[in-house]
Amino acid sequence: MIIKRLIVGLMIVAGSVFGGCSSGYTNDTGKQMNPLAERYVKLALEVGKHHDYYIDAYYGPKEWQQQASKRPLTELAEDAQSLLSAIERVSPDREQQLRKDMLQVQVRSLLAFVEQLGGKQLSFDQESLALYDAVSGALTEADFDDALAELDQLLPGQGDLNTRLDAFQRQFVIPSDKLAQVFDAAISEARNRTKQYIELPSNESFTLEYVTSKPWSGYNWYQGNSHSVIQVNTDFDMQIDRAIDLASHEGYPGHHVFNSLMEKHLVNGKGWIEYSKYPLYSPLSLLAEGSANYGIEVAFPQPQRLEFERDVLFKLAELDASQAERYYQVQSVLSKLSYAGNVAAKRYLDGQINKQQAIEFLMKYALSDRNKSAQRIDFIERYRAYVINYNLGQDIVRAYVEPQADGDHDKRWQVFSQLLANPKSASMMQTRAGD
């Protein structure tokens, strides 16, 4: 999962070279923006004193973190309003326009989060728009009927789809004694593919840990200095496709790559200190989660993914590779049920259904078993509207990249990398995609 963070010319894409540091410190707009960015970072750290999960990563000046105090929420809201007014008065040059736009949307999100902490009630859609700059579409049960009917034809047996899917997928569970070997192979391949198109910092590294009793399946804890701790939750059996999903999403070209390059080139290179901290409940999360999910298919286009998993991962896990194509047919249809989680979250958090009804909805329309559905509701209770960042974020990033790539694989990597190099919120990506 998370986070999951650059500027045109900073990435090496298909043989190009990183540009040098820009004039972020020295030009007139930079001189105006830098103190405002510093105010934002310090304000975000103070908001983090009111919520344990708000600051997901921080690698700015240690003294700022040490000096952050738990001031009243009303004071934080007033400071956020004042900061927004100050940012609005800046007349940026072309280079700094994106910086100003992103700083504005980030501060607006911070203000909305502070107001929520202070008791302001927002609906699911209002919250997702205020915090993440996007709203998931209005869907009903009927929107998932075609996918359920298709699965009814694909899955062997008769009767309850959830039971049949569970029986089918048990054939593709990675044995616990093979999990480390399979995941190591997946993340090594994801890293090698990413390095063909993106130059990684020479000191980048990660530590892999297997954990239990978490509401998520995987997490990237970015530590700074191009190092991540990647945790994989083993509460439930892991099916073979999750190895590539987690290796790419949490690692390459997902959260680990995003964060380490942002630190090197935005924070250290340009001096844009606002990117030295990552607020979880912010518009940056939609890009982070959306690009990490979309990055899976960038690194592993479906035919290549099927070939690698059939020829390498299935064998390492000692699974029947002859069933790989059928397995991915089912997974492709299951992906059409992704937004069922958004519907369940919206109805549950808006009080339209209770917890048990939300679990039953997920069992029927997301086809997750009871235990996994309950774990998913635990995630929704903790992270609320954050759930839209995975599927809606992926779709927004894809809609931004694909028209510019025009079906060319190398171009897809280039546009994708440039998006990571120039962080944009959802509305900013949608405006460009609609041009």
Summarised one tens digit per residue, pLDDT across range 183-233 is: 999 999 999 999 999 988 899 999 999 999 998 899 999 999 999 999 999
Summarised one tens digit per residue, pLDDT across range 75-118 is: 999 999 999 999 999 998 887 899 999 999 999 999 999 999 99
Euclidean distance between CA atoms 214 and 229, whole angstroms: 15
Number of helical (H) and strand (E) elements in the chain, helices listed first: 20, 5
**DSSP secondary structure string for all residues of 182-195:** HHHHHHHHHHHHHH
409: number of Cβ within 10 Å: 13
pLDDT value at position 435?
Answer: 53
Query: Quick one: pLDDT band at residue 159, thresholds 50, 70, 90?
Result: confident
Q: Are strands 227-233 and 55-58 parallel, antiparallel or unpaired?
A: unpaired
Domain chopping of the chain, boundaries: 28-132, 141-433
pLDDT value at position 420?
Answer: 84
pLDDT value at position 261?
Answer: 81
Residue 128 has pLDDT above 60, yes or no: yes
Euclidean distance between CA atoms 186 and 150, whole angstroms: 29
Residue 15 has pLDDT above 70, yes or no: no
Report pTM.
0.90
Residue 6 has pLDDT above 50, yes or no: no
What are φ and ψ of residue 227, in 5° steps?
A: -125, 140
Could you say which DSSP state residue 76 is in? H
Tokens of 3: 């986070």
| Residue whose pair of structure tokens reads 């958004």 in the numeric block | 342
Nearest partner of 373 among 358, 391, 392, 383, judged by Cα: 358
pLDDT value at position 31?
Answer: 83
Query: Quick one: pLDDT band at residue 27, thresholds 50, 70, 90?
Result: low
pLDDT value at position 432?
Answer: 64
3-class DSSP state for residue 99? helix
Give the mean pLDDT of 7-22: 28
Phi-psi region of 17 (alpha: psi -120 to 50; beta: other; left: phi over 0): beta
